[in-house]
């Protein structure tokens, strides 16, 4: 019987090329920082914008950051539940990267960003780096672009709340090497903090590139060429409206794919509306996290302000950061923009 080395050599001689993650040989590209007065384009790479008022609020939120706001040409298009056909939605992203007057692109969520990944012009994106921001379904977009180009992309929300706007400004506009720490807020009549608490899964500090996003979306593109290398990374995850058993299943997928065994640190944000089913026996979210993460022996904590919540951090994919699980902090080691 051939040993493993001879077996691989035989496969290679036969023309087999083992799969390789897309960003293996790419250099990190930091986009230029966004400045007051710059132009931001809002695109809909996923679900259609069915109502105009939420979109008007989104526009006003970016204007509050002293940015000029325009909408992608196909922003209000409809194709079933999508904001236009795949080609139309991808065209808006490609056009925004090709336009030298655009300094930032914000991608709405829903479902459908992953369908666009084969249609994007990655050569043009790498040649025209700019801030690409989004979360939720946009996890596929920001992860795929980072994997294919090396561009630092950003996991973050519409800047509706002052907290979120402040973090977008500090990370994307000021280029601050920011420490992200949950705010301490002890309400009147309380003796301890009851909201926005972190939970230490395993103490310790570690440094590595930040990678991650929405758990459901990330696992949906596993096995494709649109994932970066996770070796030595700090993985952050969040989700919304998922049954605990499905979260357990997705962590199992990450384990079986070898991703969890490669990471150096782990942060879980929030799983909004992910309560266990009380009618039958169920693991809790805490138990799922501990069963999958504790055996890795790496620094880890949960409860960070990442996810489908009103106040969120802005996390740059690919940027070096330090995780301090005991303190519940993520600190950028360098500016994510130039």
**136 given a catalytic annotation:** yes
pTM of the model: 0.90
Task: Return the DSSP state at 79.
Answer: B
| DSSP output for 212-257 | EEEHHHHHHTTTSTT----TT-EEEEEEES--HHHHHHHHHHHHHT
CB 99 within 8 A of CB 126: no
The Cα 136–Cα 143 span in angstroms is 11
**For residue range 20-39, what is the model confidence (pLDDT) as tens digits?**
344 556 899 999 999 999 99
pLDDT at 21: 41
Of 23, 113, 136, 164, the active-site residue reads 136
Residue of 102, 116, 122, 132 lying closest to 30 (CA atoms): 132
d(Cα 65, Cα 108) in Å, to the nearest integer? 18
pLDDT for 263: 98
218-235 per-position pLDDT tens digit: 999 999 999 999 999 999
Q: Estimate to the nearest angstrom the gap between the alpha carbon of 297 and the chain centroid.
A: 24
Of the candidates 155, 167, 238, 242, the residue annotated as catalytic is: 238
Is residue 43 within a helix (H) or strand (E), and if so which, with residue range?
strand 39-43
Q: Which pLDDT score is estimated for 279? A: 58
Residue in this structure with the two tokens 């897309």, named with its chain if needed? 22
Q: What is the pLDDT of residues 156-188, one digit of tens each?
A: 999 999 999 999 999 999 999 999 999 988 877
Domains of the chain: 39-173 (3.40.50.10740), 179-332 (3.50.30.60)
Task: Assess whether 77 carries a catalytic annotation.
Answer: no
In tens, the pLDDT along 193-211 reads 878 899 999 999 999 999 9
Active site residue 238: yes
Coil, helix or strand for 115?
Answer: helix
272 and 216 in contact (C-beta within 8 Å)? no
Asked if residue 285 has pLDDT above 70, the reply is: yes
Give 298's DSSP letter: S
């Amino acid at each position: 019987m051939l040993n493993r080395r001879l077996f691989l050599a035989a496969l290679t001689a036969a023309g087999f090329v083992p799969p390789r993650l897309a960003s293996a040989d790419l250099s990190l590209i930091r986009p230029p920082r966004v400045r007051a007065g710059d132009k931001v384009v809002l695109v809909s790479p996923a679900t259609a914008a069915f109502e105009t008022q939420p979109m008007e609020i989104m526009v006003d939120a970016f204007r509050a950051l002293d940015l000029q706001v325009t909408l992608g040409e196909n922003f209000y298009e409809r194709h079933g539940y999508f904001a236009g056909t795949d080609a139309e939605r991808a065209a808006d992203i490609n056009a925004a990267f090709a336009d030298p007057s655009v300094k930032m692109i914000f991608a709405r969520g829903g479902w459908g960003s992953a369908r666009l990944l084969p249609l994007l012009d990655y050569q043009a994106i790498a040649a025209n780096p700019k801030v690409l921001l989004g979360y939720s379904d946009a996890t596929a977009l920001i992860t795929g672009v980072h994997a294919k180009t090396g561009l630092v992309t950003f996991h973050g929300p519409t800047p509706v709340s002052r907290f979120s706007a402040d973090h977008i400004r500090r990370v994307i506009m000021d280029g601050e090497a920011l420490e992200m720490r949950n705010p301490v807020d002890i309400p009147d009549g309380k003796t301890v903090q009851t909201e926005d608490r972190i939970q230490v899964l395993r103490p310790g500090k570690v440094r590595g590139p930040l990678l991650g996003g929405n758990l459901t979306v990330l696992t949906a593109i596993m096995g494709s060429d649109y994932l970066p290398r996770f070796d030595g990374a700090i993985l952050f995850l969040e989700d919304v409206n998922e049954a605990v058993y499905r979260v357990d299943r997705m962590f199992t997928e990450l384990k079986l794919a070898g991703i969890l065994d490669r990471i150096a640190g782990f942060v879980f944000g929030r799983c909004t509306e992910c309560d266990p089913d009380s009618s039958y026996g169920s693991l809790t979210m805490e138990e799922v996290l501990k069963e999958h993460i504790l055996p890795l022996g790496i620094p880890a904590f949960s409860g960070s302000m990442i996810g489908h919540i009103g106040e969120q951090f802005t996390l740059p994919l690919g940027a070096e950061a330090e995780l301090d699980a005991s303190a519940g902090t993520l600190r950028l080691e360098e500016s994510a923009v130039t």
